[in-house]
Amino acid sequence: MMRARFISVLLFLLLTNKLFAQDTALMTQVLNRIEQLQVKENGVFPKGSFASYRTYALNTHREKADMNPFYTALIAMTLKDIRPALTATQQGVVDRIVENALPSFGKYENRTGRGTYNFWSTDTPRIFPNGDWMNWFDKRQALPDDMDDTVVILLAMGAPDSIAQKIHSLMQAYTNRTGKHVNNNSKAYRNIFAYSTWFGKNVPVEFDICVLSNVLYFVQRYNIPWTSADSASLQLIEKVLETQAHLLSPLYVAPQYGRSPLILYHLARLMSVKQIPSLELYRSQLIKEAEQDLKNADHFIDAVILSTALLKWGVTPAFETVYKAASLEELIEERPYYFFIANMGSMLPEPYKHLLVQSGIGKFYYDCDAYNNLLVLEYLVWKNRLTD
């Protein structure tokens, strides 16, 4: 009965966007669930991390454990961001979760000591953990470090300004200007000298506007002076918004995320730090797009992140769908939610990229129950902020 009551309260809150005393209880329940899901001992997943699983696009019935730092870093980063809005007791839980998560990131740090991070372990090189025959290529085909993992982990750790500035300086060597030009996307972007996703000299340049949003979020949070690469990355985002490519071809402009609700969520997070005047020109457009996606959302977590995006843009969202479940845990965790993907075909030049991306070959979806809970918690916090 208690779980049934909580789920009805949550749905009512989502539908009406009103405040009740139960908000604190809901936040506590979701936060405690996140802590419960944190790995307590080293095993399949490192102690302090959060379990994530990948599913192959051409075999969606089989899940495999995937040891990576990204979800753990996203959880820690977001918990630190929303911590001031929580009660003292809740803040204590946040502090425990973050403190326990931090040691797990060492497995993914570049072994040269330069301070960048990889999606998979670097102490024992691994690609697609538990990938059976694919693990024959662990050392030869290991991915280079990437900007997405690096900036999110640094924010999660609360790295000092000096480290953030050092990594930002390093990033300047990995843009569309250096060495080779992007050849796997629209010709309209090929002379924009934005950041590539990868810290790699021997991999193709790849543009992803969600990754670029995270990089600029990092720059804004650390108040780092903008470089020409930062400005070019913003230019690329604005070019995408101008042509609505994020709605028409999201897999091409955000190959590691691939859906418009996720793109809108990332842009709202970037815009919530402090205003970027040229990006503010698109605010009304983005709000309308998020409201339309929210009307069409068929997954509860899509509805959650779109509502969070709208709240960050100062708009009260309106849920039009009731999501039924026997418990709060079932509502959040029962149906997989793929917040990001591994898209092996995304770096290939055209027309090979188009063929592989559309076929689903080399595409893997990633799900994490703890992060789904975190997204709900973040929504509740932002709802309270708007209505206070």
Q: Where are the domains of the chain?
A: 2-387
Q: Which of 79-93, 173-187, 259-273 has the lowest mean pLDDT?
A: 173-187
Residue 160 burial (CB count, 10 A): 11
Predicted confidence (pLDDT) at residue 358 exceeds the cutoff of 50: yes
Quote the distance between the C-alpha of residue 111 and its chain's center. Answer: 24
Could you tell me the pTM of the whole model?
Answer: 0.90
Decide if pLDDT at 352 tops 70.
Answer: no
How long, in residues, is the chain?
Answer: 388
pLDDT surpasses 60 at 156: yes
Contacts of 46 (CB under 8 A, 6+ apart): 39, 67, 104, 107
pLDDT for 186 = 64
Rounded to whole angstroms, how far apart are CA atoms 273 and 255?
A: 24
Q: How confident is the model at residue 214, as a pLDDT?
A: 98
Q: Alpha-carbon distance 46 to 68, whole Å?
A: 9
Phi, psi (rounded to 5 degrees) for 117: -130, 155
Question: 137 pLDDT exceeds 50?
Answer: no
The answer, yes or no, to whether residue 319 has pLDDT greater than 80, is no
Q: Predicted confidence band at 216 (pLDDT cuts at 50, 70, 90)?
A: very high
First CA to last CA distance, the chain: 30
Please, which contacts does 210-213 make with residues 24 or more away whose CB atoms are closer than 8 Å?
Answer: 210/148, 210/254, 210/256, 210/257, 210/262, 210/263, 210/266, 210/340, 211/146, 211/147, 211/148, 211/254, 211/256, 212/236, 212/237, 213/237, 213/266, 213/267, 213/269, 213/270
Looking at domain 2-387, its CATH class is mainly alpha
At residue 190 the predicted structure's pLDDT band, cuts being 50, 70 and 90, is: confident
pLDDT tens across 248-300, in order? 999 889 999 999 999 999 999 999 999 999 999 999 999 999 999 999 999 99
The answer to whether 31 and 94 are in contact (CB under 8 A) is yes
pLDDT at 183 (0 to 100): 58
Record the tokens describing residue 133, joined without a space.
């025959």
pLDDT at 59: 72
More confident residue, 140 or 152: 152
Q: Which two tokens stand for residue 150?
A: 């690096």
Contacts (Cβ under 8 Å, ≥6 apart) of 69? 49, 104, 105, 107, 108, 117, 119, 149, 153
Q: How far apart are CA 146 and CA 218, in angstroms?
A: 14
Position 184 scores a pLDDT of 55
Which one is predicted more confidently, 230 or 8? Answer: 230
Listed range (17-26, 55-64, 246-255) with the worst mean pLDDT: 17-26
Q: What are phi and psi of 38, to 5 degrees?
A: -70, 135
Predicted pLDDT of residue 357: 60
Number of Cβ atoms within 10 Å of the Cβ of 358: 11
> What does the pLDDT read at residue 327?
85
Q: How far apart are CA 232 and CA 99, in angstroms?
A: 36
pLDDT of residue 15 exceeding 60, the answer is no
Query: Which pair of tokens denotes residue 246?
Result: 């994020």
- Per-chain mean pLDDT for the chain: 86
pLDDT at residue 67 greater than cutoff 60 = yes
109 phi and psi, to 5 degrees? -80, 145
338-343 vs 59-65, strand pairing mode:
unpaired
202 versus 4: the higher-pLDDT residue is: 202
Given a cut of 70, whether residue 346 has pLDDT beyond it is no
Most confident listed range (173-182, 239-248, 347-356): 239-248
Reported as a pLDDT band with limits 50, 70 and 90, residue 386 is: confident
Average pLDDT over residues 132-159: 77
Q: How far apart are CA 290 and CA 173, in angstroms?
A: 35
The yes-or-no verdict on residue 28 having pLDDT over 60 is: yes
Lowest-pLDDT range of 33-47, 134-148, 313-327 = 134-148
